[in-house]
A = this chain, B = another copy of it.
Amino acid sequence: MQRTLAKDTLDKIGEEVLLRGWVLTVRSHGKIAFFDLRDRSGTLQIAAFDPKQVQNVNSLSQQDAVEVVGKVKKREGKFVNPNTPLGTVEIEASKVSIVAKAKELPFDMGGKDLLLELPTLFDHRSLALKHPKIAKIFKVQAALSSEFRKAAQELDCVEIFVPTIAKGATEGGAEVFKVDYYGSQAFLTQSPQLYKQIMVGVYERVWTIAKAYRAEPSVTTRHLSEATQMDIEIGFIENFEELLDALEFVGTTMIKNASEKNKDILSEFGIEAPLVPTKVPRLTLREAQEIVSKRTGRDLSKELDLNPEDEKEIWLWAKEEHKSDFVTITHFPTKKRAFYTMPDPQDPQYSLSYDLLFKGLEILSGSQRIHKLDELTKRMKEKGVDPGSFGMYLAAFLYGMPPEGGFSFGLERVTMKLLELSNVREASLFPRDMERVDERLSGNQNK
């Protein structure tokens, strides 16, 4: 018999089917027994009435991989479970067999939520990810990356694959991981930035999903040592606004489409559909600071950036004034941005840079870039970055580099914020930070 997926039983009322999946919860009621079976398509109730099958079901444990043969029955009236998409059917089992027996679990996986402290969640990551609600986080993540790709293609960008081992530190600074590269020292790239800029000279418009490595010497709720970046870079731009149009198009359509395709999941997480305005409000950093000052009475005139509290306030403002969960902030101080950021010709203290805030969290960052070689090397030196380590990058500016710019989204951050998770680690399948590489680092060192 061919396998049937749980979701396809809806069309097979009265038929005999073969199902495979994992046991979620077993409910024994003496002469009858039930369990919930999860496969990749959904969760389905299996019922046993025959004494032998009742015995089989009673011997099942959570996470056993099983095979079930049985008849699809329509559930009527009070037997319908309105809380699950497959709640209108159940399978009357004629055969239940174990494909792979699970060991006793370190915690209950049967509840609607998996209420564990984060360290426990990550100590048992291979198991915890099997919890239906946690598995749904990464279904949303997959939808976000898919929608990002579609938006990038609508902008006519070409996909590129760029290296992660490099000789120079992309963004400057000390927060780089060192690699022993055949006895020579190399680094893990902090972003695909320099390579996507080179590729503007080839295809004008490019996208990539790449790794960003940051040796952050602290543990925060917003940072990962290894993160996933969704990047776009666009050349031959008309003006700065063209970049803002592009990032707002990608950011809003990606989040809107991924949300619409996962309405059920968002509602399970208690999230309302994001507010996507026709036109995302745009503020310079200075304008944003003035709005926050007006609303809170705090003096921000000496601040060079928005802190998390300010970002929340701007979100409240955007919701009230523009019915928007998105705000674009532009013109950050030049000295706070990476060397390749173009200073604003009108006021070089500020730069042609931007962040996109979603629900008060920066999910995207970018800028128009310096496209003239002499300005670029001058800025590198001012920033303490050695042009000698960036020969391949700088060569791209010798041969007709047009005005260009770009942006990148942090995939884990977008996922975190869309589902309102409290820590970015929850939005990473196998999070890397200074305390953990799958297992806790101190534990590993004692092995």
Which residues of chain B are near A99, meaning CB under 8 Å? Answer: 236, 400, 402-403
Q: Whose C-beta in chain B lies nearest to the C-beta of A104?
A: B398
Interface centre among A204, A226, A371, A437 (most CB of B within 10 A): A437
Which residues of chain B are near A225, meaning CB under 8 Å? Answer: 165, 181
Q: Would you give 23 A-B contacts (Cβ < 8 Å), ordered by A?
A: A23-B400, A99-B400, A102-B399, A103-B399, A105-B399, A124-B395, A129-B201, A130-B202, A141-B161, A142-B158, A161-B411, A161-B429, A162-B430, A163-B432, A164-B226, A165-B188, A166-B437, A167-B444, A177-B179, A182-B434, A182-B441, A184-B437, A388-B447
Contacts A163-B430, A201-B130; is A179 near B182 (CB within 8 Å)? no
Whether A317 sits at the interface, judged by CB under 8 Å, is no
Whether A396 sits at the interface, judged by CB under 8 Å, is yes
Q: Once the chains are docked, how many angstroms separate the CA of A142 from the CA of B152?
A: 13
Tell me the count of chain A residues lying within 8 A, CB to CB, of chain B: 96
Whether A273 sits at the interface, judged by CB under 8 Å, is no
Contact B167 A64 (CB under 8 A): no
Contact A391 B438 (CB under 8 A): yes
Cross-chain contact of A126 among B63, B180, B392, B402 (Cβ < 8 A): B392
Whether A261 sits at the interface, judged by CB under 8 Å, is no
Q: Whose C-beta in chain B lies nearest to the C-beta of A98?
A: B400
Q: Copies of this chain, how many?
A: 2
Binary B-proximity of A425-447 (CB < 8 A = 1, otherwise 0): 00011101010011101001101
Contact A126 B40 (CB under 8 A): no
Which residues of chain B are near A49, meaning CB under 8 Å? Answer: none
Binary B-proximity of A117-146 (CB < 8 A = 1, otherwise 0): 000000011110110000100110110011
Contact B391 A100 (CB under 8 A): no
Q: Once the chains are docked, how many angstroms separate the CA of A400 from the CA of B102?
A: 5
Contact B138 A215 (CB under 8 A): no
Which residues of chain B are near A145, meaning CB under 8 Å? Answer: 159, 161
Whether A269 sits at the interface, judged by CB under 8 Å, is no
Contacts A102-B399, A399-B127; is A439 near B167 (CB within 8 Å)? yes
Tell me the A residues contacting B by CB distance below 8 Å.
3, 20-23, 39-40, 63-65, 99-103, 105, 124-127, 129-130, 135, 138-139, 141-142, 145-146, 149, 156, 158-167, 177-182, 184, 186, 188, 195, 198-199, 201-205, 209, 211, 213, 215, 217, 225-226, 228, 236, 238, 371-372, 388-389, 391-393, 395-396, 398-403, 411, 428-430, 432, 434, 437-439, 441, 444-445, 447
Contact B167 A399 (CB under 8 A): no
